[in-house]
A = this chain, B = another copy of it.
Amino acid sequence: MYISAEAMADWDKQYRAAFVNSLTGYKPANLVGTCSAGGQENLAIMSSAVHLGSHPPLIMLVLRPDVAPRHTLDNIRATGHYTLSHVHETLIEPAHQTAARYPREQSEFTACGLTPAYREGFAAPYVKEAFLSLGLSLREEQRLAINGTHMVIGEVVWVSVPDNALRDDGSIDLYRSGSVALAGVDSYYAPQPLCRMAYAKPDLPPRRID
């Protein structure tokens, strides 16, 4: 089926959002943990984390302008710290529930039945129930004039990963860490390993590692 820009512009808002949110393909499912200067905790599910570089280790998050009171962004600005916790299968329901518009004074940890945990010297809470979590320190923030989204760039300052998920070459086996994938705004998936591919070279055919 061919769909033009004109057709998309004519669609109902929710139908269009469901469609366009699906176009990039599979997305990561992360819980972003923050805390205000006054100690009010916040947790929000996000699927917009992107790898930006490895040295220094940088991750970009895109924050939507229409998530009315932007508790997460305010907290990141206030403390400079935030965490990502990978969602695994049994966390899907509480993780998705963090998207509800709770008032600022209500912690999504409490409301959704998840436990905040802290690392010494790091202001933002991570999700204790998660198998893989990491701490980020704010490096740069920018509002994109094109549609008012915010791009937040952080440097990875600590990582907690299950021992058996760390492969000999440094890569993380996300099947073993139990991480799930998201599609669109509401569809959760359990990825099954297909193959690993060797580094591609012009003079060699594609080769599978395993």
Contact = CB atoms under 8 A, between A and B. Distances in A.
Nearest to A183: B174
B197 A8 contact: no
A85 B134 CA distance: 31
A11 interface: yes
Assembly stoichiometry (copies)? 2
B9 A169 contact: no
B26 A27 contact: yes
Interface stretch (A12-20, A33-41, A73-81): A12-20
Interface in A135-194: 139-140, 144, 146-147, 149, 151, 153, 155-163, 166-167, 169-175, 179-181, 183-194
A71 interface: no
A6 B98 CA distance: 32
Contact of A19 (B29, B58, B172, B197): B172
Secondary structure of the A contact surface, majority rule: mixed
A188 B194 contact: yes
A202 B8 contact: no
A20 B164 CA distance: 17
27 contacts: A1-B163, A9-B55, A15-B169, A17-B170, A18-B170, A20-B51, A21-B51, A22-B171, A23-B84, A24-B59, A50-B50, A50-B62, A53-B149, A56-B147, A58-B146, A92-B195, A93-B206, A93-B208, A97-B205, A97-B206, A171-B183, A174-B187, A181-B189, A186-B197, A186-B198, A187-B193, A188-B197
